[in-house]
Amino acid sequence: MRSPEGQRNPLPVYRAFRELGDVVPAPWGGWFVTGFDLANQVLRGRDWLTPDIAWQERRPDPERWRAPATREMSHTLSRLNAPDHTTQRRALGNLFGRSTLEAVRPGVEEHVDTLLDDLERALLAHGEADFATVVADRLPIRTVGGWLGLAEEDHERILDFTHRQVFAQELLPTRSQLAVSEAATLEMRAYFTGLLRHRRAHLGEDVLSGWIRYWDEWHAGDREAADRVLYHLTMFVTIASLETTATLLSSSVALLLADPARWRWLREHPGHVGDAVEEALRHDPPIWLNSRVAAKDTVLGGVRVAQDSVVHVLFGAANHDPRHNPDPETFDILRGGSQLTFGGGVHYCLGAALARLEATTLLTRMLKRFPTLRAATDGPEYAPRMVFRRITSLKVTRS
Ligand code: HEM
C-alpha cells in the first residue's frame, strides 16, 4: 500500500485483501477487516473500542505507544472512549449543522474564487499548474481558519507541522518518523496553546471563545484541566480537517479528469456535482484505515477475536466490496452507492458536512471557469502513507 504503484492504484490491493477474506490476519498480530458489512459492524458496535491510553499501557510493548508524538494524539477525541468521549462530543454538538454551514458558506465561496484566480494565473503564466498545491492544500486551511479565527499569516506554518505530525498516526511508524513527528508536535503544541492563551485574553462571540467559556465552566476552579481539553480539541479539529479534505479535493478532480468525457458530462449536469463527490469519497477514501480493539472475546465473521486484539478497518476495501457496491472499480457518478469514508458510530466524522461543502463548491465553480481543464500528467503523485492518503502534486493544463 505504501509503494508508488499501490498509492497510484490501490484497487488491486483492495481486491487482493478481499480475496483473502472478510477478516484477514495482520502479520504483526490483529486483523484486517475488508468487507463492508463487517467493517460497518465494527465501527458501530458497542463491543469495539478505540485503542486508548489504557489499552496502550496493557500492550507488551508500551514503549512503542509512549513516544511523545503518539501520546499527544492519544488524548484527542478519536482516541477517547466513553465517558470522556461522550462528554466531549456532547459539548461539541453537531459542529456543522445547517445554520453553521450557511454561515460558513459565503467564506468558502470567496476562498474558492480567490484560489481559482490563483489557478488561472498559474495556467496563464506556465501553461500548466499544480492543482494540489495551488488550490487543494489551501482551501481547507482557509475554511477552518476562517471558522476558528486562525490568522492568515499562520496558515503555512499550520500546514507544515500537520504534514510532519501525521507520521505518529501512521500504522507502523519508524523511529525516524516518530522523531520528525515529535518535533512537529512541539511546534503544534506551542502554536495552539499560544492561540488559546491569546483568545482567552480577548474573548468574543467566536467559536473558540464559546469553547473556552464552556470548558472553563465545566472545569470550574481547575484552569489547567480546562486548558488541556481545549488544546486537544482545537488542535485535533484543525488538523483533522486539513489533509483529509485536501486529498478529497485533489482526488475528486483527478478522478473526473481521468476521463475528459466525465468532466464534460458533469459540466452539462451540474446538479450531479454532489453525486460526483460521493462517488469520489467511495472510490478513493482519504483515510485508508482506522483501528479498533475488541472490548471482550468475540467472533467476527466466523473468526475468534480475543479481548484487546486490534482490528484495522480498511475503508477502501470495504467501499469496494462488490456485495455492497456492484462493479466497484467503475467510477460511476450516478451509482448512488454508499461508503464508510467518514467512519461510523460514535466516532463518526464531525467535519463531513464541511468537507462536502468545500468539495461541491469548488467543483461547481471549477467546472464553469475551466471547461477544458485536463490532466497534464498520467496522474497525481502521492506521499508514501498507509493511513492518511496525501496527494502531493496534481498537474493540470487546458486544451
Ligand atoms: C474528506 C474529508 C474528511 C474525511 C475523509 C474524514 C474522515 C474521518 C474519519 C474516518 C474519522 C474517524 C471516524 C471513526 O473513527 O469512526 C473522522 C473523525 C473525525 N473527523 Fe473527519 N474527515 C474529514 C474531514 C474533517 C473535517 C473537515 C473536520 C473538522 C472540521 C473533521 C473532524 C473530525 C473529528 C473531530 C473527528 C473525531 C471524531 C470522534 O472521534 O468522535 N474531519 N474523520
Nearest residue (by CA) to ligand 1, atom 6, is 342
DSSP code of residue 133? I
- Any atom of ligand 1 within 6 Å of the Cβ of 342: yes
Q: Calculate how far, in angstroms, residue 78's C-alpha sits from the geometric centre of ligand 1.
A: 8
Per-residue pLDDT, 172: 85
Rounded CA-CA distance 226/241 in Å is 23
The predicted structure's pLDDT at residue 168: 86
Q: What is the pLDDT of residue 276?
A: 98
Three-class DSSP category at 298:
strand
Q: How high is the pLDDT of residue 175? A: 87
Which residue ranges form the domains of the chain, and what is each CATH number? 4-398 (1.10.630.10)
The pLDDT of residue 388 is 95
**pLDDT value of position 105:** 98
Which residue positions in the chain have pLDDT lower than 50? none
What's the confidence (pLDDT) of residue 378? Answer: 86
Rg (Cα) of the chain, in Å, rounded? 21
Note the pLDDT of residue 242. 98
Neighbours of 80 (CB within 10 A): 21
pLDDT of residue 169: 86
- Please state, in angstroms and as integers, the Cα–Cα distance from residue 341 to each residue in 40, 104, 196, 227, 335, following that order: 11, 23, 31, 31, 16
In the reported structure, the alpha carbon of residue 242 is separated from the centroid of ligand 1 by a whole-number distance in angstroms of: 10
Best CA proximity match to 280, nearest among 347, 241, 331, 329: 331
Do 115 and 139 form a contact (C-beta atoms < 8 A)?
yes
At 117 the pLDDT is: 98
User: What pLDDT shows up at residue 142?
Assistant: 98
Atom number in ligand 1 closest to CA 344: 16
Query: Which of 371, 173, 353 minimizes the C-alpha distance to 278?
Result: 353
pLDDT at position 64 = 76
What is the predicted pLDDT for the residue at 194?
Answer: 98
pLDDT of residue 7: 94
